[in-house]
Amino acid sequence: MTGHKIRDFSKDNQGEDLYEFPDDITENKNGDVWTSDRIMVVVVEKSGEHRFDYEGQQSQSNFSPRGICSDILGNVLVCDYDSSNASVHLLDQDGQLLSLILTNHHNIHDPMALSVDDENNLYLGQLNSNIITVFKYLQITEK
Q: What share of the chain is helix, strand, coil (3-state, %, to 5)?
A: 0, 40, 55
Q: E strands within 11-120?
A: 24-27, 33-36, 41-44, 50-54, 65-70, 76-80, 87-91, 97-102, 111-116
User: How many CA within 13 A on the CB side of residue 39?
Assistant: 6
Bigger pLDDT: 134 or 13?
Answer: 134
Q: Distance of alpha carbon 40 from its chain centroid, rounded?
A: 10
Q: 132: pLDDT confidence band, cut at 50, 70 and 90?
A: very high
Q: 139: pLDDT confidence band, cut at 50, 70 and 90?
A: confident
pLDDT tens, position by position, 66-84: 999 999 999 999 999 887 8
With beta carbons less than 8 A apart as the criterion, state whether 80 and 87 touch: yes
pLDDT tens, position by position, 108-120: 888 999 999 988 8
With beta carbons less than 8 A apart as the criterion, state whether 61 and 94 touch: no
pLDDT tens, position by position, 16-56: 999 999 999 999 999 999 999 989 999 999 988 999 999 99
Superfamily (CATH) of domain 24-136: TolB, C-terminal domain (2.120.10.30)
pTM, 2 dp: 0.88
Q: Where are the domains of the chain?
A: 24-136
- 127 pLDDT more than 70: yes
CA atoms 103, 105, 106, 111: torsion sign: positive
